[in-house]
Amino acid sequence: MLSSGGFGASASTGRLRRRGLQVVCAAEPPKTGRQPDSVKKRERQNDRHRIRNHARKAEMRTRMKKVYNA
């Protein structure tokens, strides 16, 4: 049986269900448990990894071109 499509459509019954939509009333935003120093460190690590990954990907592309175009 084909579903009508869309987000949250149930294939078996054809009815729409809303999932993940909850109303939460809170006075303050939930805490993630991370300290500011650890967030800064994670940002520094992400920057280093991003640069390193880009260099590795570029090197792989270059080597592939040399192999396939030789």
- 0.75 cut: is pTM over it? no
Angle at 16 between CA 15 and CA 22, to 5 degrees: 145
Is the pLDDT at 6 greater than 60? The verdict is: no
The length of the chain in residues reads 70
Instruction: Flag whether 46 is in a domain.
Output: yes
Residue 6 domain-assigned? no
Any domain includes 57: yes
39 in a domain, yes or no? yes
**Rounded to an integer, what distance in angstroms lies between the CA atom of residue 42 and that of residue 34?**
10
Tens digits of per-residue pLDDT, 7-60?
555 455 555 555 665 655 666 666 666 678 899 999 999 999 999 999 999 999
Structural domain total, the chain? 1
Q: What range defines the domain where residue 60 resides?
A: 32-70
Q: Is 56 a domain residue? A: yes
pLDDT at 67: 94
In a domain, 65, yes or no: yes
Residue 2, domain member (yes or no) = no
